[in-house]
Amino acid sequence: MRAILQLAGFSALAGTLAGPLAGVASAEELAVSVELPKISVAEYHKPYVAVWIARADHSVAANLAVWYQQEDGPEGKGETWLKDMRQWWRRSGRNLEMPVDGVSGPTRSPGQHLVTFDDEGLLKDLPAGDYVLHVEAAREVGGRELVKIPFAWGSDAPSTQTLSGETELGTVSLTLKP
């Protein structure tokens, strides 16, 4: 009987402690879906892709993903061609030592690719405010394209925004969940 009372007391205490803390630590999630279109050309190379968040002054707030050829090939080192993603390279890439843990990855085949981030990982130091998501793709013997989606981090309302590229990128979607 005494064990039951202690257990019941513990449950009441746990409920009392959890009450004031409920809702305090709400994780926010950012999901980016990037479509790499299938392009019918004689010589197809998978694109290099960079995904990053910029502040209003265009400075980089967070690098989210960089997909590139990570092994050396007949054309040389894969890192050599990162500079073809010009906007990302100028803003952040040239200052990074690749590979970057949790950011770098291999090139991707045509199709839809989803990456998600939360406020406990790469975005843990991102203060609430207005930002722009950038997705840039560059392909050897191909083109280069940049898609930008403005968003508000720290909003209480979930939102989804979608833009389409014209050549190297298909549909790019940004979903925020408070």
Residue 133 falls within a domain, yes or no?
yes
Instruction: Count how many domains the chain has.
Output: 1
Residue 12 lies in a domain: no
Could you tell me if residue 124 is inside a domain?
yes
Are the C-beta atoms of 137 and 47 separated by less than 8 Å?
Answer: yes
Whether pTM > 0.85 for this model: the answer is no
For residue 1, is it within any domain?
no
Residue 3 resides in a domain: no
Q: What is the mean pLDDT of residues 86-113?
A: 95
Domain that holds residue 91: 26-177
In a domain, 120, yes or no: yes
Would 87 be classed as within a structural domain? yes
**105 sits in which H/E element:** strand 104-105
Are 42 and 130 in contact, with CB atoms under 8 Å apart?
no
Q: What is the CATH number of the domain that holds 148?
A: 2.60.40
Across 24-38, 65-79, 88-102, the highest mean pLDDT is recorded for 88-102
Residue 105: inside a domain, yes or no?
yes
Model confidence at 76, pLDDT cuts 50, 70, 90, reads low
